[in-house]
């Protein structure tokens, strides 16, 4: 929803593919790594130069006036502990006037931009990306431009898999489970990942609701009274509601085909689709999210009246089922030995449920204030802070506590909150200690172990979000500064000079592992998606030939690589959260 003028879809397309390109035609030097999206006037500004001498001199020239406005040398140098490559970090934070500039050095030139709302277009595009992932509806040209497509996977006739059979719903029973988002580069829908993704965005929405209230994503719901991001979340939430068994409250782990579809468009897919076994992890994640939805009841009432109460009831029922079925984790290999057809799609398997128990109990307690949930919240509270992922969701509960005031006089509650905050700040400060020797001026990415499957989201972006929560809790700008630094890495200040978001920057992924983009016959990928990024684990090396063993350079822009170049709703949720929160904090309202 936005009361301002609606952008046309052609304008949105132009924003994605032209708005963030540098204005000049001069060849950009890949030896100079810079934020290809733009720098905020009030925030730190650096470039990193490969193989530069500490004595090299740099100049910055205003492109419009041709005036030299800055001259200086690198503030420090750093050497990669695993590749041995030497880099120079050049700090030009004192340049704060919005405009377009050329940075010149012995290594070459680049053009950069300083602007008031540096990340706004990318933040909008990362949220708009979910519209393209919608299932069961036509993606219309007026909203999607060249990426419009006919509807696929209506999911109004989905079958109960043998693994999910019950007395009230025997195997083969037809149910309706429409809407929701395609999970990643494939065409299936998974509760665990959906819960994580929606929660991440809903948490950041709560930090800056005014920002999202003015956002216009040009989606079918843009003219209603609800913020566009909330409309998009609702599109997935109404599917998630259909995944709860109305009889007992358990939640089916996923809605899937037996095997991944080929790289074809959704309307061409022919496989039957099933809901498979209920799992305790999916059910607890569902309970946590629905409690979060219910607690934020006001945001649904204008256009989705009654949804918050529906979510409350669903959460309570799910939590009850989970307590009675704590050993029912999702074990696909074991299920395939017992039930047909075999299912060979993404597992989202997880044998450890303490983190789900904590998150769900926290959300239920904050919703109801009941002692039964408080006891579980305290019992399963994490002993140290870790960045949240779909497989370790405890910190989603921690974030809720960080922004909640405990009840006066409740010593156990106050103690829990204080402990979690102390652990959280301890983690952040330990990460900040790594920046002075970092090759790319970041708190993450300073060990070869930091480059794993999905590291751009689960590492860099997630730590940026944690830093923003640190800033929220303390008011100390050292945390927000490091959130911006991690964003800088994703958008170009990295060893390969990539802006890792499709459609943005001077060098970005063109061949993501994504069926929608691979099969649509359009050269340019759908914009606004964050890819997985460098992966030293090389999880798909049997299918993809890796060309290096250098951890932070184990990335290739190839369609066949799901372990480097796939997109996913959980990864994009962190992109939405980080860029939106940064822009809401440091951008100027227009």
User: Catalytic one among 513, 540, 553, 583?
Assistant: 513
SS3 category, 345 = coil
What residues form DSSP beta bridges with 70?
A: 60
Mention every residue, 6+ apart, whose C-beta is less than 8 A from residue 513.
Answer: 185, 531, 559, 560, 561, 562, 564, 565, 566, 567
Q: State the pairing for strand pair 86-91/57-62.
A: unpaired
Residue identified by tokens 């809790």 is 473
Work out the number of other CB atoms within 10 angstroms of the CB of residue 508.
23
Question: Between the CA of residue 24 and those of 16, 111, 381, what are the distances in Å?
Answer: 17, 7, 53
- Token digits of residue 369: 């204030």
Work out the number of other CB atoms within 10 angstroms of the CB of residue 554.
24
**Are the CB atoms for 498 and 419 separated by under 8 Å?**
no
- Token digits of residue 194: 């959906």
- Token digits of residue 241: 């509601």
Give the count of alpha carbons within 13 A of 84, CB side only. Answer: 1
Task: Compute the distance between CA of residue 13 and CA of residue 410 in angstroms, rounded to an integer.
Answer: 53
Give the count of alpha carbons within 13 A of 291, CB side only. Answer: 27
Confirm whether 566 is a catalytic residue: yes
User: Catalytic one among 413, 458, 566, 583?
Assistant: 566
Task: Compute the distance between CA of residue 277 and CA of residue 347 in angstroms, rounded to an integer.
Answer: 11
Work out the number of other CB atoms within 10 angstroms of the CB of residue 396.
27
Mention every residue, 6+ apart, whose C-beta is less than 8 A from residue 208.
Answer: 580, 581, 584, 585
Confirm whether 557 is a catalytic residue: yes
For the chain, the residue count is 590
What residues form DSSP beta bridges with 582?
A: none
Task: Compute the distance between CA of residue 590 and CA of residue 577 in angstroms, rounded to an integer.
Answer: 20
User: Catalytic one among 183, 450, 540, 557?
Assistant: 557
Give the count of alpha carbons within 13 A of 280, CB side only. Answer: 18
Burial 117-144 (b: 16+ CB within 10 A, else e): bbbbbbbbbbbbbbbbbbbbbebeeebb
What residues form DSSP beta bridges with 48?
A: 33, 89
Question: Between the CA of residue 372 and those of 28, 353, 362, 369, 414, what are the distances in Å?
Answer: 60, 18, 11, 9, 17
SS3 category, 219 = coil
DSSP 267: G
Give the count of alpha carbons within 13 A of 52, CB side only. Answer: 30
Task: Compute the distance between CA of residue 91 and CA of residue 45 in angstroms, rounded to an integer.
Answer: 6
Task: Compute the distance between CA of residue 136 and CA of residue 142 in angstroms, rounded to an integer.
Answer: 18
Confirm whether 301 is a catalytic residue: no
The two counts, helices (H) then strands (E), for the chain are 18, 13
Q: What phi, psi does 123 have (nearest 5°)?
A: -60, -45
Confirm whether 186 is a catalytic residue: yes
Active site residues: 186, 513, 557, 566
């Amino acid at each position: 929803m936005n009361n301002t003028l609606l952008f046309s879809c052609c304008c949105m397309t132009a924003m994605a593919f032209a708005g963030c390109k540098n204005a000049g035609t001069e060849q950009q030097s890949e030896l100079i790594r810079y934020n290809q999206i733009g720098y905020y006037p009030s925030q730190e500004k650096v470039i990193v130069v490969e193989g530069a001498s500490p004595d090299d001199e740099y100049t910055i020239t205003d492109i419009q006036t041709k005036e030299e406005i800055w001259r200086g040398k690198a503030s420090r140098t750093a050497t990669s502990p695993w590749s041995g490559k030497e880099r120079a970090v050049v700090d030009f934070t004192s340049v704060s006037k919005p405009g377009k500039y050329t940075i010149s050095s012995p290594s070459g030139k680049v053009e950069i931009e300083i602007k008031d709302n540096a990340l706004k277009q990318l933040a909008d595009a990362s949220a708009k990306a979910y519209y393209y992932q919608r299932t069961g509806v036509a993606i219309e040209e007026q909203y999607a431009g060249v990426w419009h497509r006919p509807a696929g996977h209506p999911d109004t006739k989905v079958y109960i898999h043998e693994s999910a059979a019950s007395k009230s719903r025997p195997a083969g029973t037809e149910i309706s489970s429409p809407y929701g988002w395609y999970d990643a580069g494939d065409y299936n829908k998974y509760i665990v990942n959906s819960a994580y993704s929606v929660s991440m965005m809903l948490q950041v929405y709560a930090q800056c609701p005014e920002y999202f209230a003015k956002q216009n994503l040009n989606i079918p719901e843009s003219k209603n009274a609800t913020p566009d991001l909330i409309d998009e979340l609702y599109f997935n939430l109404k599917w998630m509601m259909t995944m709860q068994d109305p009889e007992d409250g358990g939640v089916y782990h996923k809605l899937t085909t037996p095997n991944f579809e080929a790289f074809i468009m959704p309307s061409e897919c022919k496989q039957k689709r099933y809901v498979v076994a209920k799992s305790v992890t999916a059910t607890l994640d569902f309970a946590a999210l629905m409690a979060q939805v219910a607690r934020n009841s006001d945001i649904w009432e204008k256009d989705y009246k009654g949804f918050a109460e529906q979510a409350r009831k669903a959460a309570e029922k799910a939590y009850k089922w989970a307590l009675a079925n704590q050993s029912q984790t999702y074990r696909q290999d074991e299920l395939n030995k017992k039930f047909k057809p075999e299912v060979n799609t993404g597992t989202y398997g997880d044998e450890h449920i303490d983190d789900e128990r904590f998150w769900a109990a926290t959300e239920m307690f904050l919703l109801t204030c009941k002692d039964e949930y408080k006891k579980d919240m305290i019992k399963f509270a994490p002993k140290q802070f870790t960045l949240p992922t779909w497989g370790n969701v405890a910190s989603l509960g921690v974030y809720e506590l960080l922004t909640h005031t405990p009840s006066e006089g409740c010593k156990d509650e106050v103690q829990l909150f204080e402990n979690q905050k102390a652990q959280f700040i301890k983690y952040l400060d330990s990460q900040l200690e790594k920046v002075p020797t970092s090759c790319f001026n970041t708190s993450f990415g300073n060990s070869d172990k930091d480059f794993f499957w999905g590291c751009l989201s689960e590492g860099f972006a997630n730590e940026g979000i944690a830093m923003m929560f640190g800033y929220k809790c303390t008011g100390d700008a050292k945390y927000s500064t490091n959130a911006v630094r991690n964003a800088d890495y994703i958008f170009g200040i990295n060893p390969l000079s990539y802006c890792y978001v499709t459609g943005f920057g001077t060098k970005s992924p063109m061949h993501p592992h994504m069926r929608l983009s691979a099969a649509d016959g359009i050269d340019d990928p759908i914009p606004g998606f964050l890819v997985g990024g460098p992966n030293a684990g090389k999880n798909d090396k049997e299918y993809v030939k890796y060309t290096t063993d250098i951890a932070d350079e184990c990335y290739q822009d190839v369609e066949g690589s799901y372990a480097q170049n796939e997109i996913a709703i959980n990864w994009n949720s962190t992109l939405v959260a980080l860029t939106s929160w940064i822009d809401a904090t440091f951008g100027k309202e227009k």
